């Protein structure tokens, strides 16, 4: 299934302008351009965008992200597994903070 830049923007929560900027930088290129001139993105580009957003969440600059994604030994599946593990660790931290907050509320009344 192909997505227009507007649809991708709606799905990802990333502005159309940001998606265009990522294209200008060479971070996220459309799968193809339609005869109408629209940009179209497919599953591979969705995964690429997910990786970009993940690395941004880790605090990497766009230039650093570009270097990582352009490496010949970059393994997208491995990166996705790492992303999942990082999210799992973050969830555990949040769960612990919730428990601590509940204990604090109980102790302090």
Same-domain check for residues 29 and 46: yes
- Total domains in the fold of the chain: 2
| CATH number of the domain that residue 56 is part of | 1.10.1660.10
Same-domain check for residues 81 and 61: no
**pLDDT, position 99:** 94
10-residue stretch averages of pLDDT, the chain, 109 residues long: 94 95 95 94 92 86 87 73 83 94 88
**pLDDT, position 86:** 83
Structure tokens at 88: 């799992």
Same-domain check for residues 24 and 67: yes
**pLDDT, position 16:** 96
Same-domain check for residues 51 and 4: yes
Same-domain check for residues 16 and 62: yes
Same-domain check for residues 57 and 79: no
Query: What is the extent of the structural domain holding 84?
Result: 75-109
Same-domain check for residues 47 and 3: yes
Phi, psi of 74 (to 5 degrees): -70, 125
**pTM exceeds 0.85, yes or no:** no
Same-domain check for residues 57 and 88: no
SS3 39: strand
Same-domain check for residues 26 and 46: yes
Q: Residues near 55 by Cβ (< 8 Å), separated by ≥ 6?
A: 64, 65, 68
Cα–Cα distance measured from residue 107 to residue 109, given in angstroms and rounded to the nearest whole number? 6
Residue 19's Cβ-count burial label (10 Å; 0-12, 13-18, 19+) is buried
**pLDDT, position 27:** 94
């Amino acid at each position: 299934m192909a997505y227009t830049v507007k649809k991708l923007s709606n799905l990802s929560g990333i502005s159309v302008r940001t998606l265009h900027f990522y294209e200008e930088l060479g971070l996220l290129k459309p799968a193809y351009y339609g005869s109408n001139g629209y940009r179209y993105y497919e599953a591979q580009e969705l995964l690429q965008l997910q990786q970009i957003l993940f690395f941004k969440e880790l605090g990497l600059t766009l230039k650093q992200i570009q270097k990582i994604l352009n490496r010949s030994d970059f393994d997208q599946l491995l990166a996705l597994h790492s992303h999942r593990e990082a999210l799992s660790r973050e969830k555990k931290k949040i769960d612990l903070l919730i428990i601590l907050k509940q204990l604090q509320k109980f102790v302090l009344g």
